[in-house]
């Protein structure tokens, strides 16, 4: 593995590690909180175990769908269930393309085979939420439909962009990822900037994982509470507790946060 | 990399991750506490970055000293200073030999070149404590002396075994590592067994890192307090706070704990 390859892979792993350990991070697993069935250690085990998949992403001829599938297979070995599915959707093209412009090229070059591999990967996760959309990226049975319609993985993401902020990153040139990376630079080096940036991303857009699980109303309320924390009128610890008490975890914002850390690290932002 | 190789490498990384996240762990960095200059993230970054060195440990012809040096070089890139030097001294032969019997063969086959590489590695760390022993493994200038005396790395460890419990593992067939692995199995699966085992190891032998830094009296007092926690007459949180307040960190016991987790994981103990 060349130095450049290794750098992208380790940067992705560091981004995953830094996101999950950052605290306090309202509603999500962090240094202070576990979920009932998924702990900090499950997330960190995934960070370790995903490495060979990310290394494959840097090999010539790597396919996005296959790498995402490989990442899920490798990290699906502990009892913590899915930890990073959304993050892999962003990190795999970013590692393949090295940076955002490269990732944009990568996602536009995806094929129907990538989409099929992606749905196989999805079928292995436990990210299942109700949806009325036959092509929702959260519905594993959509694979047959997309084959018959000759849809690439990019097409799938574009189709889902309206109600899924991770898919939207593919469709909109990684705009939120870019924004998060800029915010990290703006807030300066050090792990504290991760928490501040996370809150600002949460305040900017309703988290679509929360929306799918609890409805648009709850997602909007969470967004508003994040805005209040950012403006200093609400305490972050209280916000965190409220999220925990109501089972709300802004998981898609965390996925974008990981992508933002990856990008920022590549642009000289330092975590320590 | 074959499946067997990958298994040993990832097991070592999981052991490092599980040790540092276990809490409450009196005096050491854990999920609840950072040191002033070394944080949980520094330890976890080292867990990620060491992987290529551990992969080299599984290649034919790998040399213990070179792999330890490579591990230190790779993890010496953040501002947290040394995180796992003692752990590498145990993990490298364990990964090379796969298990304790294999590691015993590996350490007995070390050469003078291994010793020289080891001292180069040591020179890069910040583990410096006063010593009156000219060959103390904590003195980088000892390299010339051991060359002139034709001492292998095993000889160095045997020489240091009296006042260094990590070196003692080499000289005594990884006895404490074995004991820790047995205790983990005895306490059952799950991360809580790590804390219980850590305390029992600390209660069994005075931590030599504490002894070198604070004297035998303090090391003995820490051992006694650990015994009191084990017997239920002292609260673990209070013990933790006392260690933190007096700057006492039982780092060598943590190194052995990592080796014990590695061994236990290979024997079917499950962390989750």
Cβ(B246)–Cβ(B80) below 8 Å: no
Residues A78 and A133 in one domain: yes
- A63, A92 in Cβ contact below 8 A? no
Name B123's Cβ contacts closer than 8 Å, sequence gap at least 6: B140
For B150: left if phi > 0, alpha if psi spans -120 to 50, otherwise beta; the answer is left
Contact status, residue A39 vs residue A80, Cβ threshold 8 Å: yes
Pair (B9, B106) in one structural domain: yes
Q: What is the pLDDT of residues A7-30, one digit of tens each?
A: 999 999 999 999 999 999 999 999
Domain of A187, in residue numbers:
177-266
pLDDT band of residue B108 (cuts 50, 70, 90) is very high
Q: Is residue B271 part of a domain?
A: no
* Distance separating alpha carbons of residues B229 and B218, to the nearest angstrom: 16
A163 and A42, same structural domain?
Answer: yes
Shortest CA gap B198–chain A (Å): 18
The C-alpha of A247 sits at a distance from chain B's nearest C-alpha, in angstroms, of 22
- In this predicted model, which residue has the larger pLDDT, B69 or A138? B69
pLDDT, tens digit (0-9, with 9 covering 90-100), for B11-58? 999 999 999 999 999 999 999 899 988 999 999 999 999 999 999 999
State the helix-helix crossing angle for B192-204 and B251-266, rounded to 10 degrees. Answer: 130
CA atoms within 13 A on the CB side of B191: 22
Average pLDDT over chain B reads 92
Instruction: pLDDT band for B134, please (50, 70, 90 cuts).
Output: low
Domain match, A151 and A213 both: no
| pLDDT of amino acid B81 | 85
Kindly state whether B42 is in contact with chain A, defined as any CB-CB distance less than 8 angstroms.
yes
Q: List Cβ neighbours of B217 (8 Å cut-off, separation of 6 or more).
A: none
Q: Rounded to whole angstroms, how far apart are CA atoms B66 and B40? A: 27
Determine, for residues A41 and B18 on separate chains, whether the beta-carbon distance falls below 8 Å: yes
DSSP state of B84: S
Q: Looking at the domain assignment, is residue A16 inside a domain? A: yes
The confidence score (pLDDT) of residue A175 equals 98
pLDDT at B32: 87
**A167 and A200 co-located in one domain:** no
Note whether B74 and B167 are same-domain residues. yes
In a domain, B75, yes or no: yes
With respect to residue A71, please indicate whether it lies within any of the assigned structural domains. yes
Please check whether residue A271 lies inside any domain of the structure: no
Q: Which of A175, A204, A231 is the endpoint of a domain?
A: A175
Question: Could you give the ipTM of this predicted complex?
Answer: 0.93
pLDDT at B139: 64
Quote the tokens at residue A151.
């849809």
CA distances from A3 to A7, A11, A55, B52, B77 (A): 6, 12, 12, 11, 14
For residues A150 and A17, state if they share a domain: yes
Domain of B131, CATH number, reads: 1.10.4200.10
Instruction: Tell me whether A108 touches chain B (CB under 8 Å).
Output: no
Query: Which residue of B13, B44, B48 is in closest CB contact with A10?
Result: B48
To the nearest whole Å, the CA of A124 is away from the closest chain B CA by 19
Q: What local confidence, expressed as pLDDT, does residue B125 receive?
A: 83
Q: What is the pTM of this model?
A: 0.94
A31 touches chain B (CB under 8 A): yes
Final residue belonging to a domain, choices A116, A146, A175? A175
Do A117 and A212 lie in one domain? The reply is no
Residue B94 lies in a domain: yes
Q: Are residue A21 and residue A79 in the same domain, yes or no?
A: yes
Worst-scoring range by mean pLDDT, A124-138, B116-130, B243-257? A124-138
For residue A272, tell me if it sits in a domain.
no
Count of domains for chain A: 2
Domain termination site, one of B114, B148, B174:
B174
């Amino acid at each position: 593995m060349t130095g450049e390859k290794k750098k992208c892979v380790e940067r992705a792993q560091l981004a995953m590690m830094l996101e999950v350990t950052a605290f306090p991070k309202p509603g999500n697993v962090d240094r202070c909180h576990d979920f009932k069935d998924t702990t900090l250690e499950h997330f960190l085990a995934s960070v370790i175990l995903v490495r060979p998949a990310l290394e494959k992403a840097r090999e010539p001829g790597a396919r996005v769908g296959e790498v995402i599938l490989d990442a899920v297979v490798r990290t699906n070995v502990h009892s913590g269930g899915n930890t990073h599915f959304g993050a892999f959707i962003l990190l795999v093209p970013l590692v393949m393309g090295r940076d955002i412009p490269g990732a944009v090229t990568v996602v536009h070059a995806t094929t129907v085979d990538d989409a099929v591999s992606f749905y196989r990967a999805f079928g292995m996760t436990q990210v299942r939420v109700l949806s009325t959309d036959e092509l929702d990226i959260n519905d594993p049975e959509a694979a047959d439909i997309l084959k018959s319609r000759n849809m690439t993985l990019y097409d799938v993401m574009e189709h889902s962009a309206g109600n899924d902020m991770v898919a939207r990153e593919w469709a909109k040139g990684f705009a939120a990822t870019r924004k998060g990376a800029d915010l990290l630079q703006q807030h300066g080096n050090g792990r504290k900037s991760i928490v501040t940036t996370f809150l600002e991303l949460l305040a900017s857009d309703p988290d679509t994982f929360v929306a799918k699980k609890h409805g648009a109303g709850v997602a909007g309320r969470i967004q508003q509470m994040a805005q209040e924390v950012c403006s200093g009128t609400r305490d972050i610890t209280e916000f965190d507790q409220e999220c925990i008490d109501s089972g709300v975890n802004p998981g898609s914002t965390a996925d974008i946060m990981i992508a933002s850390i990856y990008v920022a690290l590549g642009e000289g932002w330092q975590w320590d």
